[in-house]
Amino acid sequence: MKLLPSPLVCRDAVELVSDYLDGTLSRRGRRRLEKHLAQCDACTAYLDQMRATIAASGTVGPEDLPSDVVEGLVNLFRQYRSDD
């Protein structure tokens, strides 16, 4: 008997959005996220906000930012990951 994956909760969906937008999410992950998005207005709004942010910011690489800003962003990300 094959177990079906449990439905995504919003926190899980939000964590998949970057991979979804980058096109690196697995086919299975993409289907699960799209199923969640079809039923969740809040996550759909979040996805739309992320798309708008990307469009507004254009392409910014680490070399385009002052080193203290890059360091601050890296530290913030590390702190976020350690909270999990």
The residues, any chain, with a CB within 8 Å of residue 29's CB and separated by 6 or more, are 16, 19, 20
Residue 33, Cβ density class (10 Å: 0-12 exposed, 13-18 middle, ≥19 buried): buried
Mean pLDDT value of segment 48-60: 87
Q: How would residue 1 be classed by pLDDT, with cut points 50, 70 and 90?
A: low
Q: What's the confidence (pLDDT) of residue 64?
A: 86
The residues spanned by each domain of the chain are: 10-59
Q: Which two tokens stand for residue 48?
A: 């739309």
- pTM of the full structure: 0.65
User: Coil, strand, or helix at residue 1?
Assistant: coil
Per-residue pLDDT at 61 exceeds 80? no
Based on its alpha-carbon atoms, the radius of gyration of the chain, rounded to whole angstroms, reads 16
